[in-house]
Amino acid sequence: MHRLRVLPPFAVLLSLAFSAQALAGDFDIETPDQDAFGDVAKDITAALNYKALGPAEPSGLSGFSIGMFGSYVPVENEDAWETLTGDEPGEIGMAGISVSKGLPFGVDVGAFYSAVPGTDGSLFGAELRYAVWKGGIASPAVAVRASYSKLSGVDDIDYDSTGLDVSISKGFTLLTPYAGAGMVFGTVDAADEFGLDKEDVDVGRFFAGVRMTLGFMALTPEYEHVGDNDVFSLRVSLGL
Cβ–Cβ < 8 Å for 31, 37: no
d(CA 51, CA 125): 9
Give the domains, in start order, of the chain with CATH numbers: 10-239 (2.40.160.20)
| Among 122, 123, 98, 102, CA closest to 112 | 98
C-alpha–C-alpha distance, residues 79 and 75, integer Å: 10
pTM (two decimals): 0.88
How many CB atoms are closer than 10 A to CB 107? 16
**Cβ partners under 8 Å of residue 237, min gap 6:** 65, 66, 67, 68, 98, 217, 218, 220
Residues linked to residue 92 through DSSP beta bridges, in sequence order: 73
**Integer CA distances (angstroms), 79 to 85, 117, 156, 209, in order:** 10, 27, 19, 31
Nearest to 121 by CA among 193, 45, 25, 50: 25
Q: What is the pLDDT along the chain (240 residues), one digit of tens a residue?
A: 444 444 443 444 444 544 434 333 356 789 999 999 999 999 999 989 999 999 999 999 999 999 999 888 889 999 999 999 888 777 887 888 999 999 999 999 999 998 654 456 689 999 999 999 999 888 999 999 999 999 988 889 999 999 999 999 999 989 999 999 999 999 999 999 999 999 999 999 999 999 999 999 999 999 999 999 999 999 999 998
